[in-house]
Amino acid sequence: MRAITGIFILFAVALSVRAETGHELWLRKHKADPVKIIASGDSATLQIALHELQQGWQGKAGASVVLTVKPDESIRGDGYKLTTSGVQAKTELGILYGVYDLLRRQQTLQPIQEEVSNPSYERRVLNHWDNLDGSVERGYAGHSIFWRSGTDPLAVTEKDKALWREYARANASIGINGTVLNNVNASPQMLSSEYLSRVKAIADVMRPYGIRVYLSVKFSSPSLLGGLKTSDPLDSQVIQWWKNKVKEIYGLIPDFGGFLVKANSEGQPGPQDYGRTHAHGANMMADVLKPHGGIVMWRAFVYSPGDKDRAAQAYAEFMPLDGQFRDNVIIQVKNGPIDFQPREPFSPLFGGMKKTSVMPELQITQEYLGHSIQLVFLAPMWEECLQSDTYQEGPGSTVARATDGRLFQQKYTAIAGVANIGLDANWCGHHFAQANWYAFGRLAWDNGLTGDRIADEWIRLTFSPNPSEQPNALKTGDWLETFLTPVKDMMLQSREAAVNYMMPLGLHHIFAGGHHYGPGPWYAPKGMRPDWTPPYYHQADASGIGFDRTRGGSNAESQYHEPLASQFNDPATCPEIYLLWFHHLPWTYKMKSGRTLWDELCCHYEKGVLQVRRFQKIWDKVEPYVDAQRFAEVQSKLRRHYRDAQIWKDACLLYFQQFSRLPIPYDIERPVNDLEDLMKIDLKWSHHN
């Protein structure tokens, strides 16, 4: 009888949950209580704040909230102070941020007390790798929300504007205040007057939400678009061309943010094509933008084929330029020295450059972390990077402090995240990929937040039952235990799981070429640049595995400050998570666990697969508390996630076993695939598979 009642209740709960597409993100509608708002001023931004309070208030019914724009020495930039009576800020945008915080606290049942909140970085920017034809480079959530092909690609419709408004609101709610609208592999057409008119339309929608637009520009635009003979940054006609273009942009968009530039990188043009340095190129643009208040975000993602270790190249190229950049240039540096791998040590340029502003670039889109197929929560990875100690000014010189102005005087501070947003109904392709967008915004605002705290907030906002719709929903305490705790646990483990089944112990870039989704440790087509093939990175042979970056090898470890350099240089002190990043070691090398390196690798691959299996079980168990649509969609992604994790394990172990010639330990599940078959599979990246 008991069992029957139990089943009946579960059934009732499941039925009462409305299907959700996920389009509302972490801003799902709730029944609001009445609230009285007293606001000084009446701008478009304040109107939004008012509206949000009216739509979302869950505090005391009929309470008064005072919104005061007034300086206070504890408030910086667009920061704010929550008070017992409402929100105080220096700027109207600060008020809006304070209101979002207030509402978030109400929904997530966090205490509301007097507290100041200031942003870690002044510029908190999304980078869209969106092409003007509507495709998205490394995008797994459908086409661009900004650009499209077709008969009238530049027409601005009401539907476009409504979507951009939702996007702006979502970003503002987590403190993001800038967006680069196009791919760093930029088309010169971006700066044509036709496209600029669409940029203006986008900027007009973003403005009240405090979001500035920026553009990626192609360095050779003066020649390609302007018809000049050269794009040499020291040529007076070239400089004049940029001046005119920038004037045109600011005529349309007075608060335009500035340019993002990928130059002399992966075939993109740059100042070196004219015998000039990165500093010449960046400074020319900076000088042109300066009178209008614009900045240049200049990427340090440079490497070329040759003998030099790819991991050491960006540092080698940019360090000699330290001190040569204008104060409105910020060097944009990817979190690791290679390329957004599942795990890399932090880039030595953080804490390296002292006289130049440096900003971290994180990748929200999961290019190397399972696309929008796999559930991988990235906050722990970003936290790991931001909290890494560079030792630049002694212990405690974390990447966070070295980039947010606490360690060095930087005129501008910034952080960028490569967006994972597209036209898919749920924006990000995977419901849990929304958490990565959310996490980027929250960390950009407060780079000391933990992944745990962010996951907690996000789950509550995204999945908590709506009492008005779910009268049978679990009581809060039970929901926390039955839903929040296991789901959070799954999220927090998910990145380490991916490292385990893809590239444990410091392995990196062993993806199949092109799509960067499936395994391809063998991938090395004839004639291909070696640094674009996995054997360059894993160096597996009969003698062992790993990339030797020690003093006897490429010496990349020397780019780190002591005591790190020596620590990394010695396998006995190198953290095992980075072991094969810095060392080429014999298969029988003794690990801290007492196991051989080969056995340890096997254990990690095995563990990763089992972790994903567990995620499936966790998710299946929470079915009664999730609406049917989101439940089924995540469940189906997890099925594929598990299958592909198994493929990763089998492919890597069977491939490396050819070199190690050692057996897979008996207590480890045998591979279920054959290497020959695996080498033929092309795991397509499409998220619709």
The answer to whether the beta carbons of residues 272 and 304 sit under 8 Å apart is: no
Q: Does 138 bind ligand GCW (CB under 6 A)?
A: yes
Of 240, 212, 215, 214, residue with least CA distance to 226: 240
Q: Where are the alpha helices (DSSP H) in 419-473?
A: 434-445, 451-463
In terms of DSSP H, where are the helices of 290-356?
A: 310-318
Half-sphere exposure of 634 (CA within 13 A, CB side): 30
Nearer to ligand GCW, 137 or 166 (CB): 137
Of the listed 266, 478, 481, 570, which one is catalytic? 266
Beta carbon of residue 299, minimum distance to ligand GCW (angstroms, whole number): 7
Give the number of other Cβ atoms within 10 Å of residue 424's Cβ: 22
Q: Catalytic annotation on 367? A: yes
- Which of these is catalytic: 232, 309, 339, 627? 339
273: annotated active-site residue: no
Q: How far is the CB of 139 from ligand GCW (least distance, A)?
A: 10
The sheet with strand 86-89 has its strands ordered as: 35-39, 63-69, 86-89, 80-82, 115-117
Using Cβ positions, the residue closest to ligand GCW within the complex turns out to be 339
> According to CB under 6 A, which residues from 317 to 346 bind ligand GCW?
339-340
Q: What share of the chain is helix, strand, coil (3-state, %, to 5)?
A: 45, 10, 45
How far is 349 from 314, CA to CA, in rounded Å? 8
Burial pattern 175-185, b for ≥16 Cβ within 10 A else e, equals: bbbbbbbbbbe
User: To the nearest 10°, the Cα dihedral for 640, 646, 649, 655?
Assistant: -100
Which is closer to ligand GCW, CB of 125 or CB of 205? Answer: 125
Q: Considering the complex, state which of residue 43 and residue 185 has its C-beta at the smaller distance from ligand GCW.
A: 185
* Site for ligand GCW contains 184 (CB under 6 A): yes
CB of 295 to ligand GCW, least distance (A): 19
Q: How far apart are CA 576 and CA 603, in angstroms?
A: 14
**Rounded Cα–Cα distance for residues 384 and 80 (Å):** 27
Q: How far is the C-alpha of 624 from the C-alpha of 11, rounded, in Å?
A: 8
Residue 545 β-bridge partners: 585
Closest among 325, 420, 301 to 367, alpha carbons compared: 420
- Give the shortest CB-654-to-ligand GCW separation in angstroms: 26
* Both tokens assigned to 362: 């994180």
Q: Is 73 a catalytic residue?
A: no
Residue closer to ligand GCW by CB (options 215, 609) is 215
Identified catalytic residue from 367, 557, 599, 600: 367
Structure tokens at 433: 């990929």
171 close to 121: Cβ distance less than 8 angstroms? no
CB 144 within 8 A of CB 130: yes
Given 344, 367, 389, 548, the residue binding ligand GCW (CB under 6 A): 367
Instruction: Tell me the closest approach of the beta carbon of residue 14 to ligand GCW, in angstroms.
Output: 41
For residue 563, is the peptide bond before it cis, meaning its omega torsion is within 30 degrees of 0? yes
Nearer to ligand GCW, 184 or 381 (CB): 184
Q: Is 623 in the site for ligand GCW (CB under 6 A)?
A: no
CB of 153 to ligand GCW, least distance (A): 21
Q: Considering beta carbons, is residue 367 or 389 the nearer one to ligand GCW?
A: 367
CB of 262 to ligand GCW, least distance (A): 5
**In the bound complex, what is the minimum distance in angstroms from residue 541's beta carbon to ligand GCW?**
27
CA distance 75 to 118: 6
Q: How far is the CB of 133 from ligand GCW (least distance, A)?
A: 15
Quote the distance between the C-alpha of residue 345 and its chain's center: 16
The 242-271 contact track toward ligand GCW, x by CB under 6 A, reads --------------------x---x-----
For residue 35, give both structure tokens: 């609230």
Residue-level length of the chain? 689
Residue 101 or 367: the one with the smaller Cβ distance to ligand GCW is 367
Running DSSP on this structure, what letter comes out for residue 431? G
Those residues whose C-beta lies under 8 Å from the C-beta of residue 72, and which sit 6 or more positions away, are 81, 88, 90, 116
Output the smallest distance, CB 137 to ligand GCW, in A.
5
Q: Is 303 in the site for ligand GCW (CB under 6 A)?
A: no
Closer Cβ to ligand GCW, 132 or 487, answer by number: 132
137 binds ligand GCW (CB under 6 A): yes
Question: What DSSP state is assigned to residue 483?
Answer: I
Give whichever of 262 and 326 is closer to ligand GCW, judged by the CB atom.
262
Task: Count interface residues toward ligand GCW (CB under 6 A).
Answer: 11
Distance CA 619, CA 2 (A): 25
Smallest separation (angstroms) from ligand GCW to the CB of 127: 9
244 contacts: CB under 8 Å, gap ≥ 6: none
Which of 43, 185, 482, 539 binds ligand GCW (CB under 6 A)? It is 185
Tokens of residue 104, six digits: 């978030």
Distance CA 185, CA 262 (A): 7
For ligand GCW, the closer of residues 374 and 493 by Cβ is: 374
Residue number with CB closer to ligand GCW (216 or 493): 216
Smallest gap from Cβ 548 to ligand GCW, in A, equals: 24
* Cβ atoms of 221 and 231 closer than 8 Å: yes
Q: Which residues contact 610 (CB under 8 A, 6 or more apart)?
A: none
Nearer of residues 407 and 499 to ligand GCW, judged by Cβ: 499
d(CA 104, CA 460): 10
Phi, psi of 63 (to 5 degrees): -65, 160
Write out the residues near ligand GCW by the rule CB under 6 A: 129, 137-138, 184-185, 262, 266, 301, 339-340, 367
So which residues are the catalytic ones? 266, 339, 367
